[in-house]
Structure 1
């Protein structure tokens, strides 16, 4: 495939990611990316990715885990404050909405940055373009699923702020699950 075709397919996956983010933000069901872009690769093949592509995926995972931790802390604090009567329901909801917007913005930028790095890797390693596309689609789908669960978890616990400690634990488990599900190994 040409570099232009590769870039167009990467952009198509990124567009699917953006559409899914919009669905999460609007509390809808995230839309799936086009299956035709999977390329038939499986997780075992992702170890064959060029190191620069592996690094792009590792950086994206690391940044998401950090965002999960920061988001967990802020939402737990909002729930705890509401539980203690320090803020009202509308103030808590406004804070949660701010977190949702921040997550959406963060994920959009993260995926744009990762796409740019993967395009460069695909140009540098044309023999790996299909594998890069498959890994990008798979990791993007996993990210959307994790952040969709995060959004649903926040909404669930916003109804019962007294369970702020339980929320914090459950939310932390979502980040652990993201790390466990991530199919691309770190570079060696």
Structure 2
């Protein structure tokens, strides 16, 4: 159990409530979180009403195959990059037929960091059907477990923010 679990549970419940109220469906495309966002969403009772598909595309060839990420972007920018996470979010949105998507790709550590992309570098993408993709890079401190848990939490919080924008626009 992580110290972040209560925060993750709360965010997942808030997300589910907002999705239910707006009649929308969500999906997740995950790399460094290894399915943690989908797991948090499906901890909420009734989640089959707003979630039916998630993608854990840990390997680059899986990002290409399942999410239509371009091999050129992976070669040029690497998996932990803005172009790749944006493509992951768009690809998940289309593949799942969802209304919103979150994508996460990062370096959870303890190995794998570089001077340009140290351990804890995580890119996020949030896609909303017919509204484009918002992306953001965060540098998260802590152990591998901490980086992954904080990435799950931030991914969920970003989805909630996107839902709040949609509600205001209606």
Q: TM-score scaled by structure 1?
A: 0.27
Question: Does 1 or 2 have the higher relative contact order (CA < 8 Å, sep 6+)?
Answer: 1
Of Structure 1 and Structure 2, the greater helix share is in 1
Q: TM-score scaled by structure 2?
A: 0.29
> Which structure has the greater CA radius of gyration?
1
